[in-house]
Amino acid sequence: MFETLKPQPADKILMLMQMFRDDPRDNKVDLGVGVYKNAEGVTPVMRAIKAAEHKLWEEQTTKAYTGLAGDPAYADAMINLILGTSVERSKIAAVATPGGTGAVRQAFELIKLANPEARVFVSDPTWPNHISILKYVGIETVMYRYFDAETRAVNFDGMMEDLQQAKKGDVLLLHGCCHNPTGANLNLTEWQAVVELLNERGLIPMIDIAYQGFGDGLEEDAAGVRLVASSVPECLIAASCSKNFGIYRERTGLLMAISQDGGAQAQNQQSLAFLNRQNYSFPPDHGARLVTMILNDDALRADWMKELEDTRLGMLGLRQQLADELQRLTGSDRFGFIAQHRGMFSLLGTTPDLVEKMRLDHGIYMVGDSRLNIAGLNAQTVPILAKAIVEAGV
């Protein structure tokens, strides 16, 4: 049997990681991997996570299964964090998942289960795993324009024009905030226009929110999500705790299915639990329990929010430093978009050849589409990157 297996496409980011490790240069800079790092190049364990883990170690008496959907208290806490009071809890079905990727995969499985003919409209560009999973699950993917390579901002007119192709029952995949890979986000006026289009054309929104708190703040980053969820008949939301709680390896995510028809909640919940059972049965609990403890404890939550805000402001500071340094070197404000983007990523909008030139000449490692991880920088490496960008002729 195994002799029939065929080689699968290599993961470009994993290949880039290996190339970085093999590079002997001391001044090399890793901007490829989508993981938050502090100024010392470390992905730290947040203070509130450490405190919650210590408390859990003292108090936990069992490692028995929770349930197919995970601990209901975790779902409640996350729904409150993401949606606030914008949607009644009785209208939301939710299950814990292995990370945000698990939530995305389960959402696609639910779409396939509910409507095998549905197409998913995906921003161009998007997180590559969106496309990979859709292809594997067997769902037709349609790309819509999103990023303007000239302005490095959202091509909203192009987006709305392309979405006129969508038919009733199709799914529109949106990034809740901190768009990956571009860093360019919709504003609230644009979110409202998207809501009107969704309702006019009978489309189902699916929102992937993986970076809440990394952009403009916890509440601000959720504003578009809340607007959509409260304004359309049905909605899917896939959420991740990897970034804003720093628990990447704990694989902590949540999938929500929202229906304004409150009578649909029980069936939606049963369907989500069924999909969990077919895939991994009971979701991991450790990270979910820590998140629940933090969100439900005033002191822990306050400390977590403080550290998260420091992280957000640190990335904004690096963005501004890089934009200022590029303006100093070029005498132009054409890189000002870097300071306007939000989240961990920005898309420079240059060619793979110039990305490779920066790697060869300056040890700058970024994905070939020119996505750079702002969190991979520090005050000392910003001038190195700026020099590489200018000398490569980006």
pLDDT band at residue 192, thresholds of 50, 70 and 90?
Answer: very high
For the ranges 216-225, 261-270, 285-294, the lowest mean pLDDT is seen at 261-270
Active site (annotated) includes residue 243: yes
* Active-site hit among 52, 93, 96, 210: 210
Model confidence at 262: pLDDT above 90: no
Token pair 């809740």: residue: 176
Query: Which comes out higher in pLDDT, residue 153 or 15?
Result: 153
210 is catalytic: yes
Q: CATH number for the domain including 272?
A: 3.40.640.10
Which member of 208, 239, 386, 392 is catalytic? 208
Task: Identify the pLDDT of residue 304.
Answer: 98
Annotated active-site residue in 103, 243, 288, 304:
243
* Domain shared by 224 and 362, yes or no: no
In the chain, % of residues over pLDDT 70: 100
The dihedral sign for the CA sequence 138, 144, 148, 153 = negative
252 and 335 assigned to the same domain: no
Look at residue 366 and tell me if it is in a domain: yes
Which of these three, 269, 296, 323, is where a domain ends? Answer: 296
Boundaries of domain holding 233? 65-296
Q: Is 191 a catalytic residue?
A: no
Whether residue 304 lies in the annotated active site: no
Residue 388 in any domain: the answer is yes
Contact 96, 256 (CB under 8 A): no
Asked if residue 341 and residue 276 are part of one domain, the reply reads no
* Number of domains composing the chain: 2
Please report whether residue 385 resides in a domain.
yes
**Domain stops at, among 257, 272, 296:** 296
Q: Which of 75, 93, 96, 127 is catalytic?
A: 127
Domain co-membership, 230 together with 259: yes
To which residue do tokens 């639910």 refer? 110
Q: What gap in Å lies between CA 354 and CA 388, rounded to an integer?
A: 10
**Domain stops at, among 261, 296, 331:** 296
Residue-wise pLDDT tens digits, 18-60: 999 999 999 999 998 889 999 888 999 999 999 999 999 999 9
Is 123 in the same domain as 34?
A: no
Residue 84: pLDDT band with limits 50, 70, 90: very high
pTM: 0.96
